């Protein structure tokens, strides 16, 4: 069942697909204040989160952490986690999955009685409207910059590693294709990886850019990318 043209309603809010290529899929999530996702894991895929706006608490089987706007986290496959929105207006999040598979889901516990159930079926789908967005491919809109939930977002083709230098701590980069390499059989950054600008500045000065690398650049509104 294709999820391209639908918004998936959840008891905690909603989500929808906003970008995909052969390597990654990116979903936009809104979690309502005080609501939380199930305590779940993805046995076969890695997940990255970028909080665009609001604050969340992510819980694991033991411990957890709080994230706010332009914080990020990488969750390895099979790690159980749950995300709760703490801010009054809820939380707006980009979720990056590699590989794409919304049915790669095991729910351990859930506040809404969904423990042990599969991903939501078509009875929870509604058609997308003009309010929902789709991130363009860099080739189709190379200079496009979108403003969303306090952030500037640009999907960009990177021609040389120097283009990734000079980013700041609050700049977030999502690799959507290609990455960085330390030579044959030694890839450093992969599609789906999420990295802050300071770390990427250091890496891009030491390693080579892979041909046809594309990245999603996310920065606070009013700051240069």
Model pLDDT for residues 131-185, shown as the tens digit of each residue: 999 999 998 887 899 999 999 999 999 989 889 999 999 999 999 999 999 987 8
Residue 224 is predicted with a pLDDT of 41
Domain shared by 61 and 166, yes or no: no
Going by C-alpha positions, the residue among 98, 75, 50 that lies closest to residue 218 is 50
Domain shared by 153 and 197, yes or no: yes
Strand 213-220 to 187-189 pairing = unpaired
Whether 139 is in a domain gets the answer no
On the CB side of 102, CA atoms within 13 Å amount to 16
Instruction: Assess whether pLDDT exceeds 70 at residue 105.
Output: yes
Domain shared by 152 and 79, yes or no: no
Instruction: Assess whether pLDDT exceeds 80 at residue 222.
Output: no
Residue 9 is predicted with a pLDDT of 98
What are the two backbone dihedrals, phi and then psi, of residue 206, each rounded to the nearest 5 degrees?
-105, -25
Instruction: Assess whether pLDDT exceeds 70 at residue 225.
Output: no
Domain range enclosing 154: 146-220
Whether 109 is in a domain gets the answer yes
Domain shared by 90 and 189, yes or no: no
Q: Please give the radius of gyration of the chain, using alpha carbons only, rounded to the nearest integer.
A: 17
Tokens in use for 169?
């701590």
Mean pLDDT of the chain: 94
* Domain total of the chain: 2
Residue 139 is predicted with a pLDDT of 85
Whether 105 is in a domain gets the answer yes
Domain shared by 115 and 162, yes or no: no
Q: How far apart are CA 179 and CA 203, in angstroms?
A: 11
Domain shared by 123 and 71, yes or no: yes
Going by C-alpha positions, the residue among 28, 37, 23, 36 that lies closest to residue 3 is 28
Domain shared by 103 and 15, yes or no: yes
Domain end position, chosen among 95, 127, 159: 127
């Amino acid at each position: 069942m294709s999820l391209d043209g639908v918004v998936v309603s959840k008891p905690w809010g909603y989500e929808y697909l906003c970008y995909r290529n052969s390597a990654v899929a990116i979903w936009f999530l809104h979690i309502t204040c005080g609501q939380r996702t199930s305590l779940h894991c993805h046995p076969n895929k890695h997940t990255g989160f970028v909080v665009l706006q609001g604050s969340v608490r992510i819980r694991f089987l033991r411990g957890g952490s709080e994230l706010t706007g332009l914080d990020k986290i990488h969750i390895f496959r099979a790690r159980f986690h749950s995300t709760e929105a703490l801010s009054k207006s809820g939380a707006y999040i980009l979720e990056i999955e590699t590989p794409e598979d919304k049915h790669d889901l095991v729910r351990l516990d859930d506040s809404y009685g969904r423990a042990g159930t599969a991903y939501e079926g078509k009875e929870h789908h509604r058609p997308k409207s003009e309010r929902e967005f789709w991130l363009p491919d860099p080739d189709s809109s190379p200079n496009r910059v979108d403003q969303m939930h306090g952030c500037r977002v640009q999907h960009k083709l990177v021609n040389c590693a120097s283009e990734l230098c000079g980013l700041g701590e609050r700049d977030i980069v999502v690799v959507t294709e290609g990455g960085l390499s330390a030579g044959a059989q030694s890839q450093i950054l992969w599609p789906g990886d999420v990295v802050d600008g300071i770390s990427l500045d250091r890496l891009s000065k030491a390693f080579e850019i892979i041909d046809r690398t594309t990245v999603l650049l996310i920065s606070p509104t009013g700051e240069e990318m």
